[in-house]
Chains A and B, each alone.
Chain A
Amino acid sequence: MAELKKEKAQEMGLHDEQLKGRTQQRFFSIDESENLTYFHSHEVDTSKSAKIDAQDMTPREINREIRALMEKGIGDITVDNPMSRHGVGVGILNRLNLKFTDSLGYFGCGLIDGPNVHIEGRVGWSCAENMMAGTVVIEGNAGSTFGAAIRGGDLVCKGDVGARTGIDQKGGTIIVGGRTGAFSGFMMQRGRMIICGDAGMNLGDSMYDGTIYVGGEVEELGVDCVPGEMTELDIRYLSEKLAIYGIKTPKGVEKMQKYVSGKMLWNYASLEPNEKKLIL
């Protein structure tokens, strides 16, 4: 790992890091401590609750107040009157129970790593984009690019969602209780998407990897998205996962369709021009 000369580097605006190739040659130590949270996170108690009335607060003030409460050790926060403000509940890298009693605007709960968020209303574009870990549950509907570039955790919308759901998904699980719009799973690279209702046109377009399960009808599959084979493990996984969030599929989990990458686009750059034409 890099030897960071913190003070000097900050004075000069530079950082000296020694990164070699793809690996940093880190080895596990069997004597690692059994700490269960990040070293930089605040130790919070989920039995301690607090409320924020966001009626007259700016998004920045709301986010700062959430952080201040976490620093005080409060682990259960309710935000009343979020008034569909944008960029609220973002950048939380901590264990926390967070509840919004109404709708959020764009980019709500983005860049989070760990908290369990419950939104009782609806959400705008790009909810939980770049989410790393934790759970986000939305009772209403969601806008486009729901869970854009998500890397981990469970992102659940019990209603319908817009287009390009999980665009550039790199991990995690996106669950949609209703329908999803066009180009869902576009450029998906890893992770799972569970759509209980119908899916719009070009589902899984240009997906490199990952799995999409659909309970309803698919309008049209995108480039390199092909049907996969449901296994016993898939069915068990779907049953357990949906039961956690109290979501049911119209025809039952056993009748869901599985879609995976055809992997024709892998190593696309090294294909000959005529091969590229065949795929597209």
Chain B
Amino acid sequence: MSTNEEEFVVGADGLDTDREQMIGQHIGYRYDVNLVPDLKFITPFLQKYIDKMGWKDLNWLEDIHMGYEGDQAAVFDRNINGWVTIPDNIKLPDNQQERDMIARELLVKFQMSENHPMVDLNNAYRKF
């Protein structure tokens, strides 16, 4: 976790600018959502996934970043419209690029799992 992120999560409620202090809420995300991925940090699992899908890069995973739910590291799953919390026993690196790759790998594993909520939703609602 970088110094800026630590300040955001731990101290001063993350309210930095005058504008944020005036309105009493943070403007923006706690991490850089526009950070383009650096493929040199790709994990073997992600490489296997994109090869299987026939893509040459991360495709939709470019928009996946490691974020926070409260003060817990978490990744947002658009298929359930909610944050999925990272277990405490996973040690996260300081570099956002590496953290994002871990978030992507965990999210793919979660979404493709038979435990994913979309499996229930699919059984209940799918029309064809």
Contacts and interface: CB of A to CB of B under 8 A. Distances in A.
Interface of A: 1-2, 4, 6, 9-10, 15, 22-30, 32-40, 46, 67, 95, 97, 114, 116, 132-135, 151-154, 171-173, 190-192, 209-211, 233-234, 236-237, 240-241, 244, 260, 263, 266-267, 270
B11 interface: no
Given A2-B120, A38-B111, A240-B57, A22 B82 contact: yes
Given A35-B113, A172-B63, A26 B120 contact: no
Nearest to B63: A171
Contacts of B117: 1-2, 24, 26
B10 interface: no
A15 to B, nearest CB: 7
Interface string B3-26: 000000000000000000001010
B63 A33 contact: no
A29 B49 CA distance: 19
Given A32-B109, A152-B59, A67 B128 contact: yes
B31 to A, nearest CB: 12
Contacts of B91: none
19 contacts: A22-B82, A23-B83, A30-B90, A33-B114, A39-B113, A39-B122, A95-B52, A114-B53, A132-B60, A132-B78, A133-B59, A171-B60, A191-B63, A210-B34, A234-B36, A241-B57, A263-B27, A266-B27, A267-B27
Contacts of B115: 29, 32
A39 B34 contact: no
A135 B128 contact: no
A154 B120 contact: no
Contacts of A151: 60, 63, 78
B39 interface: yes
A36 B48 contact: yes
A147 B8 CA distance: 34
B63 A38 contact: no
Contacts of A1: 80, 117, 120
Contacts of B106: 28
B96 to A, nearest CB: 11
Contacts of A95: 52-54
A26 B82 contact: yes
A43 to B, nearest CB: 11
Q: Which 4 pairs between the two chains have the least Cβ-Cβ distance?
A: A152-B60, A133-B60, A171-B63, A237-B36
A39 B60 contact: no
B42 interface: no
Contact of B112 (A38, A260, A263): A38
